[in-house]
Amino acid sequence: MEKKESKTGMEILNLFKVNAYEVKKQELMVENVQLRALLHSMQVTNMVVINNVLGSWDVRQKLYNLLLKAVQCDRPI
């Protein structure tokens, strides 16, 4: 009987560990989404500033491309 109780206790402990892992994973996924949104917002803000400061489209386009490379963005603004 002791082995069965020990096994059940280990199973419960493993379930707690899996649950804690899943909760942490969800928290990190939410944080990742928030950080991506913040990054995108900052990129838009930077582009607005650049557009207001610079007049030439060619210069703006070059700076835009540099910004994208700097942050290694996987989606356009």
* Separation of alpha carbons 38 and 69, rounded Å: 17
pLDDT digits 0-9 by tens, 19-77: 999 999 999 999 999 999 999 999 989 888 877 777 677 777 887 788 888 777 565 55
Q: From the CB of residue 51, how many other CB atoms can be counted at a distance below 10 Å?
A: 13
Q: How far apart are CA 49 and CA 54, in angstroms?
A: 8
The C-alpha angle with vertex 69 and arms to 59 and 65, in degrees rounded to 5, equals: 20
- Identify the pLDDT of residue 32: 96
User: What count of residues does the chain have?
Assistant: 77
| Half-sphere CA count of 48, side-chain side, radius 13 A | 6
